[in-house]
């Protein structure tokens, strides 16, 4: 039996990671840090009907589309999941996800609790990560200090957070975003460990195992 050079072994299967958190928890801040800490992770870019915020670019944070275009894409079944969040539509592209999976690429999706539930039903091996603030008053402070939303919008987001946090038990991993650097390291650890799951390495290890059969 010949040896298997490591670069000739089949690639491991790509994983799908979902990260959800109440608005203001610090998810965007954390994802920016993660981009530096973890290599080989693609980020799914959702479609949304919400208008771009200052500094956001079409095709980078989101694909910004009109409600009519969103509905057309919905009717054509382009989304693996979609949801209405804070009064706007958001949807995940099937095609982006499929392409990444076929290429054995890991993908991170920043989607809400409803989207996670729908995705997990269709793709049960999805890894769910829920990010929490240390407390409700901390969340309130972060939303106010961000200076991005009007007081009414902040009140709506805080109200929504009570319902969102109630779903924490549906996720595989829980990360409390207290100190930014600690939370970023925890997220990195989850991703690195999840890449080693048996299901992701089945093809690769089957090839290694074959070299152990005598003869």
Which residues, 6+ apart, have CB-to-CB distance to 213 below 8 Å?
Answer: 1
Q: Which residue number, 12 or 173, has a Cβ lying nearer to ligand 5GP?
A: 173
- Asked whether the beta carbons of 41 and 103 are under 8 A apart, the reply is no
Q: In 3-state terms, the chain is what percent helix, strand and coil (to 5)?
A: 45, 20, 35
Closest CA to 122 of 109, 133, 134, 141: 109
> Is residue 90 at the binding interface for ligand 5GP, with CB under 6 A as the rule?
yes
Q: To 10 degrees, what angle do helices 151-165 and 136-146 make?
A: 150
The Cα–Cα gap between 106 and 114 comes to 21
- Asked whether the beta carbons of 131 and 175 are under 8 A apart, the reply is yes
> Is residue 131 at the binding interface for ligand 5GP, with CB under 6 A as the rule?
no
Using the contact rule CB under 6 A, the part of the chain among 29-37, 104-112, 138-146, 197-205 near ligand 5GP is 104-112
Using the contact rule CB under 6 A, the part of the chain among 24-32, 115-123, 166-174, 205-213 near ligand ADP is 24-32
Closest CA to 176 of 147, 135, 120, 123: 135
Q: Which residue number, 23 or 177, has a Cβ lying nearer to ligand 5GP?
A: 23
Q: Which residue number, 54 or 75, has a Cβ lying nearer to ligand ADP?
A: 54
157 to 186, contacts with ligand ADP by CB under 6 A?
177, 180
The Cα–Cα gap between 120 and 165 comes to 18
* Minimum CB distance to ligand ADP, residue 29 (Å): 3
Tell which one of 13, 33, 50, 142 touches ligand ADP (CB under 6 A).
142
Q: Which residue number, 46 or 186, has a Cβ lying nearer to ligand 5GP?
A: 46
Residue 47 structure tokens? 């479609």
* Minimum CB distance to ligand ADP, residue 133 (Å): 8
The binder of 127, among ligand 5GP, ligand ADP, none, by C-beta within 5 to 8 A per type, is none
Enumerate binding residues for ligand ADP (CB under 6 A).
21, 23-29, 142, 145-146, 177, 180
């Amino acid at each position: 039996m010949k040896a298997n050079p490591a670069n000739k072994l089949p690639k491991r299967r790509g994983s799908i990671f979902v990260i959800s958190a109440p608005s203001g928890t610090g998810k965007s801040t954390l994802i920016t840090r993660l981009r530096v800490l973890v290599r080989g992770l693609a980020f799914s870019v959702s479609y949304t009907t919400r208008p771009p915020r200052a500094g956001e670019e079409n095709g980078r944070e989101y694909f910004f589309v009109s409600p009519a275009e969103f509905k057309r894409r919905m009717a054509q079944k382009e989304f693996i999941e979609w949801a209405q969040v804070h009064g706007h539509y958001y949807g995940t592209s099937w095609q982006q996800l499929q392409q990444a999976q076929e290429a054995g690429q890991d993908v991170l999706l920043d989607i809400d609790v409803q989207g996670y539930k729908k995705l997990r039903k269709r793709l049960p091996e999805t890894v769910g990560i829920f990010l929490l603030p240390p407390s409700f008053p901390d969340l309130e402070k972060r939303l106010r200090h961000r200076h991005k939303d009007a007081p009414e919008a902040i009140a709506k987001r805080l109200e929504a957070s009570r319902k969102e946090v109630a779903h924490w038990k549906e996720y595989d991993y829980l990360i409390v975003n207290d100190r930014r650097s600690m939370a970023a390291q925890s997220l990195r650890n989850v991703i690195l460990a999840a890449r080693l799951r048996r299901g992701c390495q089945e093809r690769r290890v089957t090839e290694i195992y074959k070299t152990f059969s005598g003869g």
